[in-house]
Amino acid sequence: MLYWLLYQKLFPYFRLFRIFRYLTFRTVFASLTALLIGLLIGPYVIERLREFQIGQYIREEGPQSHQKKSGTPTMGGVLICISILVPTLLWSDLSNPFVWVVMLSTLAFGGIGFADDYIKVVHRRNLGLTPRAKLALQMLASGSVAIALLVIAQHGNFSTRLLFPFFKRFRPELVWQWMGHVPHMHWLAYLPFVVFVMLVISFSSNAVNLTDGLDGLAIGCTIIAAGALTVLTYVSGHVVFSDYLELQRMPLVSELAIFCGAMVGASIGFLWYNAHPAEVFMGDVGSLALGGAIGTVAVVIKQELLLPFIGGVFILEAVSVMLQVGSYKLRNGKRIFKMAPLHHHFELLGWSESKVIARFWILALIFALLALTTLKLR
């Protein structure tokens, strides 16, 4: 809105407003706006959550040290969503279709998380939506993203080719062009792309959700992942950097740097209240929204295969749960870890909560730096 008003409308009359055309300037201001929104309305949101008695219910099988956190206000992800979406609306070019795809995806996954949290609060237990219902809704939301991207691809603004890290010339097409000529079966040509996008975004959303188990752990890792995505979105749309790094240049996706910058600012603002000992938890509304946003941005900028680096800690947490469940079922109740997700395993090894958090942040930073170094190693 401010971009439209200050640059597109008022720039011809006030030449000083040309500064609002620069992406770096708007990204910084979006980040600062998100941070200020989080800091300023955070106390109000936390107080309202307390008044409505929206407190966290701690699972009994979890570490006993977490039982004292019971009753801490949850659903703080509402604050995160507001802090991300409002600055994006203010500072981005709203005629850009990718901006709307990412914002609506964030809202959709946040809505799923809100429903899950709401059911927990109403029933006063740590069980919300059933796993099948939650996964079905996530697949529906991510499938909608895939369809939207296919529509954009029809206008030549998006490619359905997959970019592989380290292999600059290996770019398989996820749409089976040959299938498009088969009578009554042409829709199957898009199936590989749709399924791939659904799996990437849904897995990303659940990975962040599983990481959200310690004060500040998930949101701290989100700051780092969103920072890496801010760089990636910027260079993907920059004519010089994309050519130097031999990336597929997509001019429109650079506008997503503003969204990613807002995600960084919103996450820092939320960390102010979520740092140990937490005054508020993000709940599923926050973790699912952030995970959905990260996965969607990665898909849009064609860096979905870099997600194991961009969100390395999130992936480790998700994989630890998969391994634990698989081992328990296939090995007659034998476990690999003392408890999953992985951060609980280290807690039970005797690490303090603050040490686990700090070390996982360091690990997240290492993964993010590895993701950025792969851009030239092609």
Q: Residue 181 and residue 174: Cα distance in Å, rounded?
A: 16
| Per-residue confidence (pLDDT) for residue 49, from 0 to 100 | 86
97-123 vs 283-300: helix crossing angle, rounded to 10: 160
| Per-residue confidence (pLDDT) for residue 143, from 0 to 100 | 96
Nearest to 98 by CA among 1, 233, 213: 233
> Does the pLDDT of residue 40 top 90, yes or no?
yes
Would you say 120 and 58 are in contact if contact means Cβ atoms under 8 Å apart? Answer: no
Per-residue pLDDT tens digits for 315-330: 999 999 999 999 988 8
Q: What value does the mean pLDDT take over residues 283-299?
A: 95
pLDDT band at 84 (very low <50, low <70, confident <90, very high): very high
pLDDT band at 195 (very low <50, low <70, confident <90, very high): very high
Burial class (CB in 10 A: 0-12, 13-18, 19+), 158: buried
Q: What is the mean pLDDT of the chain?
A: 87
Per-residue pLDDT tens digits for 43-77: 999 998 888 766 555 555 555 555 556 668 888 99
Nearest to 72 by CA among 279, 291, 319, 275: 279
Contacts of 265 (CB under 8 A, 6+ apart): 30, 31, 32, 33, 34, 35, 38, 83, 87
pLDDT band at 181 (very low <50, low <70, confident <90, very high): low
DSSP string, 86-131: HHHHHHS-TT-HHHHHHHHHHHHHHHHHHHHHHHHHHHTSS--S-H
Q: Three-class SS string for 235-266?
A: HHHCHHHHHHCCCCCCHHHHHHHHHHHHHHHH
pLDDT band at 13 (very low <50, low <70, confident <90, very high): low
Per-residue pLDDT tens digits for 240-277: 777 777 677 788 899 999 999 999 999 999 999 999 88
pTM of the model: 0.91
Would you say 35 and 87 are in contact if contact means Cβ atoms under 8 Å apart? Answer: no
Q: What's at 9, amino acid-wise?
A: K
Per-residue pLDDT tens digits for 112-165: 999 998 888 777 666 778 889 999 999 999 999 999 999 999 988 898 888 887
